[in-house]
Each structure stands twice: as structure tokens, then as C-alpha cells.
Amino acid sequence: MKTKILTTGAADIDEAAEIIRRGGLVAFPTETVYGLGADALNEKAVAAIYEAKGRPSDNPMIVHIAHAEDLKKLAVHAGADLQRLIGVLWPGPLTVILKKKRCVPDRTTGGLDTVAVRMPENDTARDLIERSGCPIAAPSANISGRPSPTRAVDVIADMDGRIDAIIKGLDCRVGIESTVLDMTEDVPVILRPGIITADRISEVLGRKAYYDKALYRKPESDDFKPKSPGMKYRHYAPEADMLIVKGKEADVRKYAEKLRRQKEAAGIKTAVLIFEENDAAKAAHDFFSALRDLDRAGTELIIAGALNTEDQIGFAVMNRMIKSAGYNIIRLPDGAEKIKGE
């Protein structure tokens, strides 16, 4: 398939909208990561997304809308709490899970009776949805398992030749996917952490929002029962092997540098990836693009420094980093300098 590369100009967005209306696939920028969009109410179009991504078909999609009022067409409204939440946090990187209405096909929700809905803040994204005249189902526009794309070049690398068109916009502002919040139970529960934190949601709602316990477990453990099917799969993985080092920052830097020299001496192309302390939002912005740049440079091993998970944005980045590394983590005891097995 020949993939059209489109700009964010009005005529190009019209062309992209026409492709969506016909049941085609268009990748487009959002403020979080690039999405791979299709008409959310067209089962065949949604099936084509799974195909293009190579994605397991029980993993449900987020449905993107251009106006908050469109929510009631797709989902059973959860009342005053939800109204307050979306009044403050939409448009933006927050996805809400609600009971779905019949018009949303099973294909879109992976057979669940709930639907994930989000109103992006990115102008191009909203423009595309509006001109398409339908809600747009869109997972991240990467091949399943790879790091999410936060720049047009990354989308082109994964999707060129697999989909109808790619809208080349700016780099994504946030860099990690939206916060997914389950509003179907008595208490609001975050199924996927993001830049909108539990504290922020609690503040807006005036009552406490929680993180799903599954976010603290490894998939291999017996009690790993995530409500969000996407949490089960290996995710965000670079081609390089990856090791996370956890400990005091100075120790981590020393350890990582020492290990890098050893690996390099053994002929393994190794990179150290350590983010500025105290700027988790910047780490969120840079994380996926850094993995893709390191892969492009032919890196064979990435040694990454863990972020502080007491910071809720740090926690959101670590949720991705841990999966990127396939749970390959070492913890340095305080003051550690020796490399294990040395």
C-alpha cells in the first residue's frame, strides 16, 4: 500500500477526513503520542487497525471525539463527577472508561461492555475528527510492542506502506499516552498512569482517585489481574536490550558508566539513558523518542536510570520504562559501586 504523507493544512486534513469516512486508516498527531485512526463505528475499519499494528484483537481502542457533547452518543454518562472532570480536564490527555452504548461495535471495545473515550487537545487531531464527522478509534501509531511514536518520523518508520495516510504534525507535547481513568465503579481508578495524576484528579473531583493495584505488580505474578487489557502485553520495547538501574542518582551514574565501559570493551554497543532528576515531565516527553533514537544508532544495550516513583509523573514514566526493559531491573544498595558478578 502506498502511504500518503499529508500536512496539517486544511486541504490535507479534508483529504485525511475523507479517507477516514471511506473506512481507511490515517495516523495523526495528538498531544500525547501519534494515533492510528479509523472510524470508531465501522467494524471493518477498526479491524484494519489491528491488522496494521499486528495487535491482539482483545485489546480495546480509545475513541476520540472533538466535542465533549459527543460523549453521550457513545457512553452512558456517569453524572456530576464526570461532568466536573471533563469540564476541567478536557480537552487533554485524560481518557475515561464508561459503560458503552450499543452503537459502539464490539470490535472497538475488544468485546467489553465499556468504552474508553478521550477528547484530545491537539488542534489537528480535533480538526480531523470534526471533519471526518465520526468518532475516531486510535491506538498509538506504532507496530504492536514497539515504543509509542511521538514524532512524525517515528510514525513513518513503523507505518509507511501499511496505512492510507500519515499527517505529519509537530512532535507531541506530552510524550506518553493519556491517563486512563475507570469511572464505572464507586471510586475513580486509574488503569494507566499519565501526565494527569491521581492527585490532580482527586483535586478536581474533591474525592480521592486511586491507582489500580495491578500497576504495582509484575505480569507473571498470580495476582496480576489488570482491568485494562493493554497492561498484559509486552510493550514499548526497543530493539536493544535494556537494563534499569535503581538507586541514588550519583551511584546510578557511576554504576551505569562503569558497566557501559565493560560492555563496550566486550564489543557491545552500549548507551546510558539517565534523565534530569526533578523533571519527570521532561523525561516523559523524551523517553520514547530516546529509545527510538538509540535503536536508530544501532545501540545493543541501553542502561537506564530509574526515576523516582514518589513523583506521580515519574511513576507514569516508570510504568513504561519497566515494560520497555522487560522487567530487567537491578537495585543498588546505598553507596554501591561494585557491579554484581564482578
Residue 204 CA to residue 190 CA, distance in Å, equals: 14
Q: For residue 118, what is the DSSP state? A: E
- Using rule CB under 6 A, residue 30 touches ligand TXA: yes
183-222 mask for ligand TXA (x: CB under 6 A)? Answer: --------xx------------------------------
Those residues whose C-beta lies under 8 Å from the C-beta of residue 268, and which sit 6 or more positions away, are 300, 301
How does strand 165-167 pair with strand 179-182?
A: unpaired
- Considering only 33, 41, 167, 273, the residue that binds ligand TXA (CB under 6 A) is 33
Those residues whose C-beta lies under 8 Å from the C-beta of residue 88, and which sit 6 or more positions away, are 204
The residue to which cell 520514547 is assigned: 288
CB of 161 to ligand TXA, least distance (A): 20
Only one of the segments 26-34, 251-259, 279-287, 323-331 lies at the binding site for ligand TXA (rule: CB under 6 A); that segment is 26-34
H helices of the chain, in order, are 10-21, 43-53, 71-74, 80-89, 106-109, 123-132, 152-159, 198-205, 249-265, 280-296, 312-324
Residue 3, binding choice from Mg ion, ligand TXA, none, Cβ under 5 to 8 Å by partner class: none
Residue 95, binding choice from Mg ion, ligand TXA, none, Cβ under 5 to 8 Å by partner class: ligand TXA
Residues 124-153 within binding reach of Mg ion (CB under 5 A): 140
Q: How many residues bind ligand TXA (CB under 6 A)?
A: 30
CB of 209 to ligand TXA, least distance (A): 16
* 226 Rama sector, left if φ>0, alpha if ψ -120 to 50, beta otherwise: beta
Chain residues that interact with ligand TXA, rule: CB under 6 A: 30, 32-33, 35, 59-62, 93, 95, 97, 109, 112, 114-116, 118, 138-140, 177-178, 180, 191-192, 227-231
